[in-house]
Amino acid sequence: MSMLTSGFWLSLLGINIALAYSVYPLAILGRLSVAPVAYLAIGAYATTYFTTRGGSFLVGLAVGICISLLIGAVLSAVAGHLRSHFFVAATLGAAMMVQQAAFSLTPITNGYLGITSPAGIVEWWHVWALALVCMAGAFALRHSVLDGVWKAVGADDLVAAAMGISTSRAVFAAGCCSAVTGTIAGGLYGHLLPFFDPNAFGLILILVTVAAIVVGGVVAWYGPVIGAVIMTGLPELLRDFGAWRESAIGLVLIACILFLPRGLSDRHGLAKVWNELRQASARLRHPKRPRPRGSSREQHRH
């Protein structure tokens, strides 16, 4: 059965929306992070470890949040001053280290053999409750004073420091929001999947997460929703094309970087691209005819 006709696709969409919003706070600060994929893995394994042993889902979630907050605090302290691809590389290293730890800690994660999560603990409305909370939080942030502070840091760290804004505190606060959101999403994600292994938190998921925030953009609070819908639906629509699904994600990512660097939520960028397409179409339909020789001289004489 296609996921488009099942409830699992909607649940997966809700997880991807929450995962995109876990990237959102640091993206406002001009720092694209893939660490939420690591937080997702931590939440999935922590909650599954407790529930498969007769423990509480909430206890496992609390343990996972504590671990993710510790990693987020270390990242903020060590790499918080970095920007651009340097910060992406630092968070990518953290994500790969967590994945390798999942392969190595076989008593907890069962390593390469994977782990089976108990059914009936997480329902679809749990996922969408988290997604709606993330959307409400982003909306509230966009209409708060904190949004202006974080945008100032995202524009220029030195100018923000001259205005009395602490870049380290802003990065730490955004990193904590990212860690908590990503871990909760991971706890739900681990119980939606009947089975998962460390490969579920590899480069493909990192690519989808980055593409969702780049395609949707952070210009508007609903940008991550746009990106998550496209990045969740596109692989399913291209399911029959095999490995070309990942290539399609890469093409969409490249196209957005070239033509809409601020994402699909940038209305001014969309209007500019639309006007350029209309002008190009008009030039193709009505090409300019070359003037005959001597016509300019005759007009000058008259």
Total of domains in the chain: 1
Identify the domain containing residue 93 by its residue range: 3-287
- Is the residue at 49 inside a domain? yes
- Is the residue at 97 inside a domain? yes
Query: For the range 199-202, what are the long-range contacts, defined as Cβ-Cβ under 8 Å and sequence gap of 24 or more?
Result: 200/41, 201/37, 201/38, 201/40, 201/41, 201/44, 201/95, 201/98, 201/99, 201/102, 202/99
Distance of CA 105 to the CA centre of its chain: 27
Provide the percentage of residues in the chain whose pLDDT is more than 70. 92
CATH of residue 172: 1.10.3470
- Is the residue at 293 inside a domain? no
pLDDT in tens, 188-241: 999 998 899 999 998 889 988 988 999 999 989 999 999 999 988 887 787 777
- Is the residue at 190 inside a domain? yes
- Is the residue at 302 inside a domain? no
pTM of the model: 0.88
- Is the residue at 298 inside a domain? no
Reported as a pLDDT band with limits 50, 70 and 90, residue 3 is very low
pLDDT in tens, 232-252: 888 778 777 766 777 777 888
- Is the residue at 299 inside a domain? no
pLDDT in tens, 247-294: 777 888 888 888 888 889 888 888 888 888 888 888 888 776 666 665
Residue from 30, 289, 49 nearest 187 by CA: 49
- Is the residue at 301 inside a domain? no
- Predicted pLDDT of residue 5: 47
| Mean pLDDT, all residues of the chain | 87
Report how far residue 286's alpha carbon sits from residue 284's, in angstroms, rounded to the nearest whole number: 6
